[in-house]
Chain A
Amino acid sequence: MTTQASRFDTALGLEAKRGPIVVVFKTLLYGGMVLVFTGPLWGLLVSAFSDTVNPTGFTLVPHSFTLKNFIEAGDRDVYHYLFNSFVVVGFGLLLQMVVSVFAAYALARKKFRGAAIVLLLMLVTMMLPEEVIIIPLSVVLADVPPFHANLIGSYLGMILPVGAWGFSILVMTEFMKEVPVELEEAARIDGAGELRIFATIILPLCRPALGVIGVFGFTMIWDQYLLPLVVGQEAGEWTIPIALRSLRSDEEVGIGVLLAASLLALLPSIIAFLAFQRQFMRGLTSGAIKG
């Protein structure tokens, strides 16, 4: 393959075209794209650090830099909501990754009766949108059978339902199938037990896949809305996406606090994406192609 872009490298052959008109066209096109898709986010960043009170004061141009919005956000409990979000995403992701890795180990490395049914059940959960079961789930969470436990208003109510995710399990399963069986057999001959093989042979080799399910799980749990909306009954239990709505409807705070809180709600998933870009893209294509 040549390093020079050839006119057969792309469908339109745009990359190989040269000349001043092409350069102008490309600059406008790519500049426009960046502006349209990042403009609103840039605007949020700028406005959150600006002295903004009136509801139309959303700007793309930095002016009068201030931290006032973030200080006022403290008075409105925004950092408490942020804390709640981090608790849910922290424990939720830990649970989700552990559960996925264990389930994937069984599906990828063990032959057993019923494997096909388990796989089918996983697909059913993926076909079943969470919106469809949110009403009955709210009833179940209020009185979990058979313990009669009430998880409404607790972190557990937001964490347990996201603990098992079909997508993560399938991505992990596909990856674990690739680990050569000889490694496992060698360890078994050396007398290594099941957990030991799992922890010292399989898991270390699956680190790239752990990155994929980690970053996807993080954005998935961070973006949860309906579940925390149903579980968090009182303000003290809200996560930050849920809290945004109440920050807006308050007349005296203006939009400054709302903007600061929105920025705080956005940043973690953007940072997670930028830090784990390669894993993200990998999971994206594998997820879409498998449906």
Chain B
Amino acid sequence: MTLTVSRDARHNAPQKRRPGKGRRHGSLVAWLFLSPALLLFFWFKFIPMFEGVRMSFYEVRPYLGDEWRGLSNYRTIVSDSAFTSAIWHSFILAIGTTAGSLIIGLVLALLIEGRARYLWFVRTAAFLPVVTTMAAVAEVWRIMYHPADNGLLNTIVGWLGIGPAPFLASEHSSLASIMGMGIWRGAPYDMMIFLAGLVGIDRTLYEAAAVDGATVWQRLWRVTLPALRPVFWILFTLAAIRGIRVFVEVYVLTNGGPNGSSEVLMTLIYKLGLQQGELGVAAAGSIVLFLATLTLTVVVQALRRRSTT
């Protein structure tokens, strides 16, 4: 960082000779104040980032020296069926959780909009899942999902006359069950952001719509929902990115099982890299994960731009 400071000072000096001293002093102070953040970012974000890119091209062998592998780590990922199905599961989980949270969050936000005191209470209560520690709620849900017919959710399902569901214990429902918990935790967050968006809508538009004889439904479709569109896209991007890199929920609830049916990219990367020592392949997997989140962000931004113009 000292290098940057001195170079900056040199650039500044000839431009403004007289106020140069104060300016140089100012930027020196700025870099000093910034240095703790920059150093921490450098060590624990940027070095690992570059190290990750490097590792993805090597077979990483601690104490023995790494061996250049070219693209073979990436080839493993593309061809290995465990990886392709994990990528697919991550994708399904991300889309399902995101869509479920958005729809339920929007409906709840519309239903709970208002200024009454009890609505504030309901909102706060409903928001609690968002601030809970993931690992702990996942344990709670794992117990609630107990496949025996006296498990909590199976008891409730039983009242409705539906037979006990295996939830996490079956290959067919494990992913959907993880999704269920994800929506439970994601919907209140989306609800809160939608509520903030609803507050910002111009009330005179509602009155104007009423004067024109629009029904509540027409008003909803023509005024409210279009006004929420920017909020919707932001939430979609955030949630989808969060969904693709999901780890804790899956690791705690199923650890990828049964029979790999809920294995996602991150749990596979973790197992490969830190349990089996295949650091190079795991690093390549991480790069793929990063590219996926990046592509998603770019595509959503592009779609958003096209839909607004």
A291 and B237 form a contact (CB under 8 A) = yes
Chain B interface residue count, Cβ-Cβ cutoff 8 angstroms: 107
A33's partner among B37, B41, B49, B108 (CB-CB below 8 A) is B108
B140's partner among A5, A40, A219, A277 (CB-CB below 8 A) is A40
A242 and B135 form a contact (CB under 8 A) = yes
The distance from the CB of B235 to the nearest CB of chain A, in whole angstroms, is 7
A134 and B34 form a contact (CB under 8 A) = no
Q: What are the residues of chain B within 8 A of A114 when measuring CB–CB? A: 4, 8
Q: What are the residues of chain B within 8 A of A121 when measuring CB–CB? A: 38, 41, 46
The distance from the CB of A123 to the nearest CB of chain B, in whole angstroms, is 11
Interface residues on A, range: 35 or more
B143 and A58 form a contact (CB under 8 A) = yes
Determine chain B's interface SS by DSSP, over half rule. Answer: helix
**Is residue A212 within 8 Å, beta carbon to beta carbon, of the partner chain?**
no
**Is residue A167 within 8 Å, beta carbon to beta carbon, of the partner chain?**
no
B114 and A244 form a contact (CB under 8 A) = no
CA distance A144 to B234 in the complex (A): 37
B193 and A14 form a contact (CB under 8 A) = no
What 0/1 readout, one digit per residue, does chain A (16-30) give for beta carbons within 8 Å of chain B?
A: 000000000000011
Q: What are the residues of chain B within 8 A of A55 when measuring CB–CB? A: 143, 146
Binds B, one of A67-75, A100-108, A203-211: A100-108
**Is residue B157 within 8 Å, beta carbon to beta carbon, of the partner chain?**
no
What 0/1 readout, one digit per residue, does chain A (21-47) give for beta carbons within 8 Å of chain B?
A: 000000001100110111011011000
The distance from the CB of A274 to the nearest CB of chain B, in whole angstroms, is 8
B40 and A99 form a contact (CB under 8 A) = yes
**Is residue B152 within 8 Å, beta carbon to beta carbon, of the partner chain?**
yes
B37's partner among A8, A103, A219 (CB-CB below 8 A) is A103
CA distance A19 to B53 in the complex (A): 64
A285's partner among B52, B115, B193, B274 (CB-CB below 8 A) is B193
A136 and B128 form a contact (CB under 8 A) = no
B201 and A11 form a contact (CB under 8 A) = yes
CA distance A145 to B52 in the complex (A): 15
What 0/1 readout, one digit per residue, does chain B (243-274) give for beta carbons within 8 Å of chain A?
A: 00101100110000000000000100110011
**Is residue A190 within 8 Å, beta carbon to beta carbon, of the partner chain?**
no
A135 and B282 form a contact (CB under 8 A) = yes
CA distance A135 to B285 in the complex (A): 10
- Known A8-B210, A59-B152, A164-B41; judge A223-B51 contact (CB<8 A): no
B126 and A10 form a contact (CB under 8 A) = no
The distance from the CB of B216 to the nearest CB of chain A, in whole angstroms, is 6
**Chain B minimum-CB-distance residue to A168:** B37
What 0/1 readout, one digit per residue, does chain B (117-132) give for beta carbons within 8 Å of chain A?
A: 0110010111111011
CA distance A112 to B127 in the complex (A): 41
Q: What are the residues of chain B within 8 A of A37 when measuring CB–CB? A: 125-129, 184, 188
**Chain B minimum-CB-distance residue to A141:** B44
B152 and A144 form a contact (CB under 8 A) = no
- Known A55-B146, A58-B144; judge A269-B30 contact (CB<8 A): no
Q: What are the residues of chain B within 8 A of A222 when measuring CB–CB? A: 133
**Is residue A201 within 8 Å, beta carbon to beta carbon, of the partner chain?**
no
**Is residue B102 within 8 Å, beta carbon to beta carbon, of the partner chain?**
no
What 0/1 readout, one digit per residue, does chain A (250-291) give for beta carbons within 8 Å of chain B?
A: 000001001100110110011011100100110011001101
**Chain B minimum-CB-distance residue to A266:** B136
CA distance A169 to B38 in the complex (A): 11
B125 and A136 form a contact (CB under 8 A) = no
A33 and B126 form a contact (CB under 8 A) = yes
**Is residue B159 within 8 Å, beta carbon to beta carbon, of the partner chain?**
no
**Chain A minimum-CB-distance residue to B206:** A8
State the A residues within 8 Å of B (CB).
5, 7-15, 29-30, 33-34, 36-38, 40-41, 43-44, 55-56, 58-60, 98-100, 102-103, 105-107, 110-115, 118, 121-122, 125, 127-129, 131-140, 144-145, 160-161, 163-164, 169, 194, 198, 219, 222-223, 225-226, 230, 241-242, 244-245, 248, 255, 258-259, 262-263, 265-266, 269-270, 272-274, 277, 280-281, 284-285, 288-289, 291
* Contact sample, A vs B, 19 pairs, CB 8 Å cutoff: A11-B224, A30-B122, A37-B127, A98-B36, A102-B36, A103-B33, A103-B36, A106-B31, A111-B26, A112-B26, A131-B266, A131-B289, A135-B52, A136-B51, A140-B47, A161-B40, A226-B270, A266-B137, A288-B231
Known: A11-B220, A41-B129, A106-B30. 14 other contacts (CB 8 A): A10-B198, A11-B206, A102-B36, A106-B33, A114-B8, A125-B41, A128-B290, A140-B43, A164-B40, A272-B131, A277-B124, A288-B238, A289-B196, A291-B237
The 6 A-B residue pairs whose C-beta atoms are closest, nearest first, are A112-B27, A15-B114, A241-B135, A136-B52, A164-B40, A110-B30
State the B residues within 8 Å of A (CB).
4, 8, 11-12, 23, 26-27, 29-34, 36-38, 40-41, 43-49, 51-52, 55, 60, 108, 110-116, 118-119, 122, 124-129, 131-137, 139-144, 146, 148, 150-152, 184, 188-189, 192-193, 196, 198, 201, 203, 206-207, 210, 216, 219-220, 223-224, 231, 234-235, 237-238, 241, 245, 247-248, 251-252, 266, 269-270, 273-274, 279, 282-283, 286-287, 289-290, 293-294, 297
